[in-house]
Amino acid sequence: MTRIAVIGAAGRMGKVLMQAAHEAPGVELGAAIVSPNSSLLGADAGELAGVGKLGVVLKASLEAAADDFDVLIDFTNPELTLVNMAECARLGKGIVIGTTGLNEQQQATLQDYAGRMPVVFAPNMSVGVNLLLDILHRAASVLQEGYDVEIIETHHRHKVDAPSGTAIRLGEVVADAMGRDLKQCAVYGREGIIGPRSAQEIGFETVRAGDVVGDHTVLFASEGERIEITHKASSRMTFAKGAVRACDWLSDKANGVYDMQDVLGLKN
């Protein structure tokens, strides 16, 4: 039985992650971490998650919960994620990371830590999105000649990074299938008299509004037709279920970085 710890347990995603860990077969919620200054310290995590008492009390640090979990789920922020990775490496724990917005240096640091621990790192934990990535690579391989590519993503007003990590990953998959370098061909928004688009560019459009959980569309457009591949998430539970599934999969893996394509067996 894989024991899962959730950090940021008092947040919106934290509560859903705890619920998912409680409901999934083969795993259990072993620990829940909140801020050391939280008034919720000592409360039952199950009551916070809305599933009734579980006997798992909210603690202030990973160290305080070291004997209670095997794998940590982290959906926090880039700076805190790296701190949590260092602590998991010290404690000999695995980690599943859904945090987005890591810069190149932070991603390099993540790779270094993964030499000491097993890590699942993915910008989107949804099973549907990761299946979409597999489909998208095949589509982009076929549509690379004569088709313009635009990626449109919509999220709630509270999201702090743009474009979303998922949108960037979609762009990476398309660019790879088309033999392009996304760093060279990505265009993030357009304004003013910019002239006609180039054949090589991959455009990104970002929308932030209301309580949208996450919508992503990849548009392939040519003379005479359009193909749109879309995923729409209506609940954070889809990400939580994927993260919990990743924890169970990771529990017996060797040190290194994996992604949801590994977890779902989608890699060739």
Starting at the edge strand found earlier in the chain, the sheet holding 214-222 runs 186-188, 202-208, 148-155, 214-222, 225-233
* 155: annotated active-site residue: yes
- Measured at the CA of 243, the angle between CA 238 and CA 245, to 5 degrees, comes to 95
Q: Would you call the peptide bond into 163 cis, given omega within 30 degrees of 0 as the criterion?
A: yes
SS3 240: helix
- With tokens 């548009």, the residue in question is 219
Closest CA to 200 of 227, 171, 224: 171
- Write down the catalytic residue from 22, 59, 155, 231: 155
Answer yes or no: are the C-beta atoms of 185 and 140 closer than 8 Å.
no
Q: What does the radius of gyration of the chain's CA atoms come to, in whole angstroms?
A: 20
* 159: annotated active-site residue: yes
203's tokens = 């455009």
Closest CA to 31 of 102, 84, 108, 106: 84
Answer yes or no: are the C-beta atoms of 44 and 56 closer than 8 Å.
yes
User: Any residues with CB less than 8 A from the CB of 195 and at least 6 apart, and which?
Assistant: none
Q: Give the active site residues.
A: 155, 159
